[in-house]
A and B are shown apart, each in its own frame.
Chain A
Amino acid sequence: MTAVGPQAAVQVDIPPPIRPRERGTPLEWALMHLAFVAIAAFFLAPFVWLFAAAFDAEATAYIRVPGRLTLDNFTYIFRELAFAKALANSAIVAGATTLLVVLTVTLAGYGLSRLELRRKGWITFAVLLLQTMPLSATMVPIYGLARLLGLRNSYLGLILIHAAIELPFLVWLMKGFFDSVPRQLEEAAWLDGRSKLRALFEIVLPVARPGIAVAAGLSFISAWAEVLMVIILVDKQDMKTVPLAFYETFRTAGGYVEVQYGLVAAMGVLYLLPVMAVFFATRRLMVRGLVSGTKGL
Chain B
Amino acid sequence: MIPGGGGAAAPARPVPRDALRRQAPYLFGLAPAAILLAAFFVGPALWAAYASLTNTALVGIDAARPRFVGLANYERLLGDPDFANVIRNSVVFVVGSAVVGQFVLGLSLALLIDHAERRGYRLATLAYAAVLLAWVNPTVIAGFLWVAMFDFYNGSLNTGLALAGAGPVDWLGQFPMLSVVIANTWRGAAFTMLIFLGALKTIPSDIYEAARVDGANAWRRFWDHTLPSLRPIGALALLSITMSTFGTFILIQTLTNGGPGTQTEVIALYAFHEAFRSYAIGYGSAIAVVMLLINFAFAIVYLRWSRARA
Note whether A and B contact each other (Cβ less than 8 A): yes
Q: Which residues of A contact B (CB under 8 A)?
A: 1-8, 14, 16-24, 28-29, 32-33, 35-37, 39-40, 42-47, 49-50, 53, 60-63, 103-105, 107-108, 110-112, 114-117, 123, 125, 127-130, 132-142, 144-145, 160-161, 163-165, 167-168, 171, 196-197, 221, 224-228, 243, 246-247, 250-251, 254, 259, 261, 264, 268, 271-272, 275-276, 279-280, 283, 287, 290-291, 293-297
| B198 with A291: CB separation less than 8 A | yes
> Which residues on B sit within 8 Å (CB–CB) of A264?
144
| A250 with B254: CB separation less than 8 A | yes
| A254 with B28: CB separation less than 8 A | no
A68 to B145, CA, bound (A): 21
Cβ-neighbour of A134 out of B187, B243, B275 (below 8 A): B243
Q: How far is the CB of B305 from chain A (nearest CB, A)?
A: 9
A251 to B144, CA, bound (A): 9
| A297 with B116: CB separation less than 8 A | no
> Which residues on A sit within 8 Å (CB–CB) of B115?
32
Identity of the chain A residue whose Cβ is nearest the Cβ of B281 in the assembled complex: A140
Total number of B residues with any Cβ neighbor in A under 8 Å: 111
List B128-178 residues whose CB lies under 8 Å from chain A.
Answer: 129-134, 136-142, 144-149, 151, 153-156, 158-159
16 contacting pairs across A/B (C-beta < 8 A): A16-B202, A20-B205, A43-B127, A46-B156, A105-B33, A111-B28, A114-B26, A133-B292, A137-B292, A140-B48, A226-B138, A227-B250, A228-B249, A290-B136, A290-B194, A291-B194
Identity of the chain B residue whose Cβ is nearest the Cβ of A230 in the assembled complex: B140
Choose among A116, A132, A139 the residue with the greatest number of B CB atoms under 10 Å from its CB.
Answer: A132
Cβ-neighbour of B296 out of A112, A129, A197, A227 (below 8 A): A129
| B188 with A296: CB separation less than 8 A | yes
Choose among A36, A49, A225 the residue with the greatest number of B CB atoms under 10 Å from its CB.
Answer: A36
Identity of the chain B residue whose Cβ is nearest the Cβ of A5 in the assembled complex: B306
| B119 with A24: CB separation less than 8 A | yes
| A163 with B199: CB separation less than 8 A | no
| A43 with B133: CB separation less than 8 A | yes
> Which residues on A sit within 8 Å (CB–CB) of B186?
42-43, 46
> Which residues on A sit within 8 Å (CB–CB) of B236?
3-5
How would you classify the secondary structure of chain A's contact residues: helix, strand, loop or mixed? helix
Q: Known: A132-B298, A139-B272. Contact between A21 and B194, CB under 8 A?
A: no
List B5-42 residues whose CB lies under 8 Å from chain A.
Answer: 23, 25-30, 32-34, 36-37, 39-42
Residue B302 is within 8 A (CB to CB) of chain A in the complex: yes
Tally inter-chain residue pairs, CB-CB below 8 A. Answer: 330
A114 to B147, CA, bound (A): 49
Pick the interface stretch among B67-75, B78-86, B283-291: B283-291
| A32 with B121: CB separation less than 8 A | yes
| A247 with B140: CB separation less than 8 A | yes
Cβ-neighbour of B32 out of A46, A62, A108, A221 (below 8 A): A108
Q: How far is the CB of A101 from chain B (nearest CB, A)?
A: 9
> Which residues on B sit within 8 Å (CB–CB) of A283?
132
Cβ-neighbour of A62 out of B41, B123, B156, B285 (below 8 A): B156
Identity of the chain B residue whose Cβ is nearest the Cβ of A63 in the assembled complex: B156
| A43 with B131: CB separation less than 8 A | yes
9 nearest A-B residue pairs (beta carbon): A134-B247, A111-B29, A141-B44, A225-B138, A108-B33, A164-B40, A136-B268, A61-B151, A46-B145
Residue B210 is within 8 A (CB to CB) of chain A in the complex: no
| A3 with B247: CB separation less than 8 A | no
Q: How far is the CB of B164 from chain A (nearest CB, A)?
A: 14
12 additional contacts, CB 8 Å, given A7-B310, A129-B303, A140-B48?
Answer: A2-B198, A46-B142, A46-B145, A111-B25, A115-B23, A123-B30, A136-B268, A137-B292, A138-B292, A164-B37, A279-B136, A294-B191
